[in-house]
Amino acid sequence: MIILDFDCPECGNVEERFVPSETQTVKCKVCDADAKRIISGTSFRLDGTDPAYPTAWDKWAKQHEKNGGQTD
C-alpha cells in the first residue's frame, strides 16, 4: 500500500489515497466519477549536515560557524 494522487476529470478534484500500488482509478469522493492516477511532483530538502553533499555541507558549516555553533 502506498499514497498516490488521483485526479477527477469530471469535477477537477485532486486527492491522495492510500491504495495498493497497482491501482489506476478510484471513485472520486466529491462526485463519485472515476478519478485517474496521476504522477505528482516530489520535493525534498537536504539539511546540510551530510558531507556526502559538499555544497549543502559547506553552506551548513558556514552558517553554523556564523551562529557561534548554534543550530537553526
> Residue 25: which domain range?
2-38
- Domain total in the chain: 1
Per-residue pLDDT at 41:
77
Q: For Cα atoms 3, 5, 41, give the angle at the middle one, nearest 5 degrees.
A: 100
**What's the pLDDT tens digit per position in 21-60?**
999 999 999 999 999 999 987 777 666 566 666 677 777 7
Cβ(35)–Cβ(26) below 8 Å = yes
Is 47 part of any domain? Answer: no
Using the 8-state DSSP alphabet, how is residue 35 labeled? E
Cβ(5)–Cβ(35) below 8 Å = no
Is 45 part of any domain? Answer: no
pTM above 0.75, yes or no: no
Is 49 part of any domain? Answer: no
